[in-house]
Structure 1
Amino acid sequence: MKKCMNCEKELEGRVGKKFCSSYCKSNYHYARRKDKEDSFFKTVDKKLKLNRRILKNYNRAGKATVRAEVLTKHGFDPNYFTHYWKNKNGVVYLFCYEFGFLSFRDAKGVKKFTLIKWQGHMAN
């Protein structure tokens, strides 16, 4: 016997029936749609939280410089950030919540990140 796709109760009635009631049918489709909608949000949120955790871990003093390979090894993705701040010289720092970063290459061509923490004067 076939079972309801939502509650797995045994089905009675016509051959092609998939749900035991209109409630189960509605609940099943609502849950599937909700999972699809949330998947993008959950992915982005997860990446932002991971980025923040990594930046926090490597920036305990308020300002630091770290090789890009060190951060990316832990899963840091600079394409995910919450906002940006442009200093008076026009340099743009990207932020994951209160932890910011600036990508640059040193004199030897090694990619690095300058890490900073959000300060009150940056709000202006």
Structure 2
Amino acid sequence: MSNHKTCPVCESSVKGRSDKVFCSVKCKSIHQYETRQEKEAFYLEVDRQLKMNRKVLKTYNLSGFTTVRKELLINDGFNPNFFTHYWKNSKGDIYLFVYDYGFLDLKKSGKEKYLIVQWQEYMKR
């Protein structure tokens, strides 16, 4: 009875010790990389969306304080469910921030908009 094993990466024959799993160092490395990528997939997806959100907010916020239709931002890849922190002003309005750019949900003239602001020192308090 032969104890023939195949490499899980390339399906080549595995020769050597009985506990050896991969046919080569290269296949072992490929397997470790792919496993890490699978584990990191959620993190990478969230990170990618946060970076996209910041880029979109920065693009539309030319003056430091801008009102923009939600539809425009969303069409450019913005997803309001991804943000890094929030800030509540004295009126109780809650601004959601993506790093240094924040947005506040508004309804102006029956249209759905976001007020985009840039983080200020006084917001730390």
Provide the TM-score with structure 1 as the length reference.
0.81
Of the three residues 10, 13, 28, the one matched with 1:11 is 13
Instruction: Quote the offset at 1:64 in angstroms.
Output: 0.2
Q: Measure the CA separation in 1 of the matches of 2:59 and 2:27.
A: 47
- Shift in alpha-carbon separation, 1:99–1:12, aligned structure 2, 3 A: closer
Aligned to 2:55: 53
Q: Measure the CA separation in 1 of the matches of 2:95 and 2:120.
A: 12
Identity of aligned residues (%): 41
Higher strand proportion: 2
Instruction: Quote the offset at 1:11 in angstroms.
Output: 2.5
Instruction: Quote the offset at 1:89 in angstroms.
Output: 1.0
Aligned to 1:103: 105
Instruction: Quote the offset at 1:112 in angstroms.
Output: 0.2
| Aligned 8 A contact 2:97 2:103 in 1 | yes
Instruction: Could you tell me which runs of 5 or more consecutive residues in structure 1 were left unpaired when the two chains were aligned.
Output: none
Instruction: Quote the offset at 1:69 in angstroms.
Output: 0.6
Aligned to 2:114: 113
Q: Give structure 1 regions of 4+ aligned residues with deviation exceeding 6 angstroms.
A: none
Of the three residues 15, 18, 23, the one matched with 1:20 is 23
Instruction: Could you tell me which runs of 5 or more consecutive residues in structure 2 were left unpaired when the two chains were aligned.
Output: 1-5
What is the aligned length? 117
| Aligned 8 A contact 1:99 1:117 in 2 | yes
**Counterpart amino acid of 1:105?**
K
Pair 1:83-2:82 in alignment: no
| Aligned 8 A contact 1:5 1:28 in 2 | no
**Counterpart amino acid of 2:48?**
K
- Shift in alpha-carbon separation, 1:12–1:93, aligned structure 2, 3 A: closer
Q: Measure the CA separation in 2 of the matches of 1:122 and 1:9.
A: 58
Q: Measure the CA separation in 1 of the matches of 2:54 and 2:104.
A: 14
| Aligned 8 A contact 2:7 2:14 in 1 | no
Moved more, 28-37 or 68-77: 28-37
